[in-house]
Amino acid sequence: MKKGKQSYLLNNRIFVKDTSVLVGKRESEGPLKEYFYDVLEDDLFNSKSYELAECKMQRHTLQNLLKKCEMKIDDVDCLMGGDLQNQIFATSFAAREFHASFLGLYGACSTFGEGLALASLLIDGGDFKNIVVTTSSHFSSAERNYRFPLELGNQRTPLSQWTVTASGSVMLSCDRPEEEIVPAITAVTIGKTIDYGVTDANDMGAAMAPAAFDTLKTHFSELSRSPSYYDAIFTGDLGIFGLDLCAHLLEQDGITMPKSFSDCGKIIFSEKQKVFMGGSGAGCSSAVFGAYIYELMKKGELKKVLLVPTGALLNKDSPLQKQSIPGIAHAVAIEV
């Protein structure tokens, strides 16, 4: 049921049947280490390039997801997702090996939110049963695409974030799995493209915070919910500074966020790991959701979660062409 202009209260519960997450070594050494079971020993994953390694990571999580769900690709109506490589190379190439309808998405690091929202709406429409949503990012493939070759050893700026090496896939389904506690998507808010004029390509948090603010504000108002409706609210990868900015924008608008308001990019790394503002990347929210948030929900430690993956819609050339960086964020309510 449509609520307002951007939000949808789903008529059915769209169950998260299972998740599959693979992370890099650095991610496995952070605060969420006990939640990451599947860890890369080296970033190249026995591939000839970081780009091909990322494809292989997606293939790996997709295969693992099917195995965990005890399903075959024939049981999947559609595979959708994306990544940060040009022309979503990693996802498209991984999709070659899964004989199912494929829909490529691009919303930068918000892609996981876009996929969850779209898949839930399609399943809620009645014609789809099982949809896989998958995203990934790789520090080394992103760094050389968006910034500098690693070999240059460029110094990082204080507000920069570290692209997470991770791939996360989830199986959404209209069929309730036979388990006691099953997290399910109940509502979504599809974000608008928001641009406050931020031009620093090393400060993604500031570029995305206004979009997260806009989506959160819209979500609360259209669904007549306050932040306290949720046990926890996680943005995607605003990082430490972006999360503060977002909370500040909400505060200015009369919405006080609870202390539990957090960010996947903020919690995946610790300060000791020297990644400055935290993690980012299309694989950040899918990995943190799939490994950590989903597990807490299954254990009953979190009952109502709002996940708001955020994306910065730039490319390597747009800052050079003196363009500011638009952001986007989609909100997905998950409840048990």
- Kindly list the residues in this chain that would bind a second copy in the complex (CB under 8 A): 1-2, 5-6, 8, 48-49, 51-52, 74, 77-78, 82, 84-89, 92-93, 95-96, 98-108, 114, 118, 121-122, 124-128, 190-195, 313-318, 321, 323, 326, 328
Closest CB to a second copy among residues 291, 313:
313
Single-letter amino acid code for the residue at 63: Q
- Give the C-alpha distances (Å, rounded to integers) separating 313 from 111, 159, 332: 11, 18, 20
Closest approach, Cβ 55 to a second copy, in A, equals 9
Closest CB to a second copy among residues 13, 26:
13
Closest approach, Cβ 203 to a second copy, in A, equals 17
Closest CB to a second copy among residues 52, 255:
52
Closest approach, Cβ 106 to a second copy, in A, equals 4
Closest approach, Cβ 192 to a second copy, in A, equals 6
Tokens matching residue 88: 């979503």
Contact partners, residue 151, CB within 8 Å, separation at least 6 = none
Closest approach, Cβ 36 to a second copy, in A, equals 28
d(CA 108, CA 280): 10
Closest approach, Cβ 130 to a second copy, in A, equals 12
Strand partners, 7: 3, 189
- Please list, residue by residue across 260-293, b when 16 or more beta carbons sit within 10 angstroms of its beta carbon and e when fewer do: ebbbbbbbbbeeebebbbbbbbbbbbbbbbbbbb
Closest CB to a second copy among residues 86, 226:
86
Closest CB to a second copy among residues 68, 129:
129
Closest CB to a second copy among residues 128, 276:
128
Q: Which helix (H) or strand (E) segment is 249 a member of?
A: helix 239-252
- Please list, residue by residue across 81-93, b when 16 or more beta carbons sit within 10 angstroms of its beta carbon and e when fewer do: bbbbbeebbbbbb
Residue 160 contacts residue 276 (beta carbons within 8 Å): yes
